Amino acid sequence: MDPRTGLTHFDEEGQAIMVDVSGKQETSRTAIATGRIKVNQAVYDAIEQGTAKKGDVLGVARVAGIMAAKSTSSVIPLCHPLPIAKCSVDFTMLPGECAVEAKATVKVTGQTGVEMEALHSVSVALLTIYDMCKAIDKRMEIQYIHLDKKTGGKSGEFIR
C-alpha cells in the first residue's frame, strides 16, 4: 500500500502492484451490476421480436457476458483470476425508455471480491447488443453501468 495515498494497488514507491490476498480468509462473495443500452424503436423491435439479422441478440449477449466475467483478469491488469462459481446475465426490456437493461450476478468463494467481474460482464453484454444491432442503427448509447450490490469479504455488504 502506498502510505501517501492509502491505495492498495501501489507500493511504497508508487509502482502498480497486484494486491497480496494470500493472507485473506476465503469467504462467499457476490456482486450484482447493471447497465442499459438505449436504442431506437427499430432496434428495440428487432431485439424483442428476434428478427435481428445476426440472430438471437439477448442469447448471444448473455453468453458474452458470462464469458467476460470468467476472463476479467485477462483484461483488467491488476485483477486476480477467480474460480467463478456462478454467473448469470439477465435482461429486461424497457419499452417506455426504448432500452434494454442488463443485470449480471457473479458469485465466488475466494479471497477477493467479484465486483469487477460483474461490471465487466454487464459491459460486454451491452457491447454485444451494440455489435449485433449496429447494422440497424449506430446511435445506440450504453448507459448507467454500476455496481448495485456486493456481499462478503472484509468490507462486508454494499448496497447502492
Could you state, in order of their start, the residue ranges of all structural domains in the chain? 27-151
Please indicate if the annotation marks 80 as binding a ligand.
yes
Alpha-carbon span 69 to 64, nearest angstrom: 9
pLDDT tens for each residue of 67-87: 999 999 999 988 999 999 999
Q: What's residue 153's pLDDT?
A: 87
CATH 3.30.70.640 fits domain 27-151: yes
The pLDDT confidence band at residue 156, using thresholds 50, 70 and 90, is confident
DSSP-based three-state secondary structure for 134: coil
Question: 85, 79, 81: which is closest to 108 by C-alpha?
Answer: 85
The pLDDT confidence band at residue 125, using thresholds 50, 70 and 90, is very high
Please indicate if the annotation marks 79 as binding a ligand.
yes
Please indicate if the annotation marks 18 as binding a ligand.
no
23, pLDDT greater than 90: no
* Contact assessment for residue 36 and residue 126, using Cβ atoms and an 8 Å cutoff: yes
Please indicate if the annotation marks 9 as binding a ligand.
no
Alpha-carbon span 80 to 111, nearest angstrom: 9
Rounded to two decimals, the pTM is 0.89
Per-residue b/e over 94-108, b at no fewer than 16 CB within 10 Å? eeeebbbbbbbbbbb
- Please identify every residue annotated as catalytic: 131
Please indicate if the annotation marks 133 as binding a ligand.
no
User: What does the block give as the cell for 15?
Assistant: 509502482
More confident residue, 111 or 22: 111
Q: What's the burial of 8, exposed, middle or buried (CB within 10 Å: 0-12/13-18/19+)?
A: middle
